[in-house]
Amino acid sequence: MSENLSSHNIENDDCNIFNEDTDYKDLIVKLKEIKSTIASLEKKIFK
């Protein structure tokens, strides 16, 4: 019984790491979009 519990925890850990990695990549993409938006707004303001 404990063997099944241990393997289940390992699978959950792998899934959590994958989700965190995906979340991190999504955050980077959003930050790049924000950076681009800010740069565009700066160009419009300082024209």
Q: What is the pLDDT of residue 21?
A: 86
pTM (whole model) above 0.85: no
- Per DSSP, the three-state class of 46 is coil
Q: What is the pLDDT along the chain (47 residues), one digit of tens a residue?
A: 444 555 555 566 667 777 888 889 999 999 999 999 999 999 999 87
Spatial separation of the C-alpha atoms in residues 14 and 32, rounded to whole Å: 27
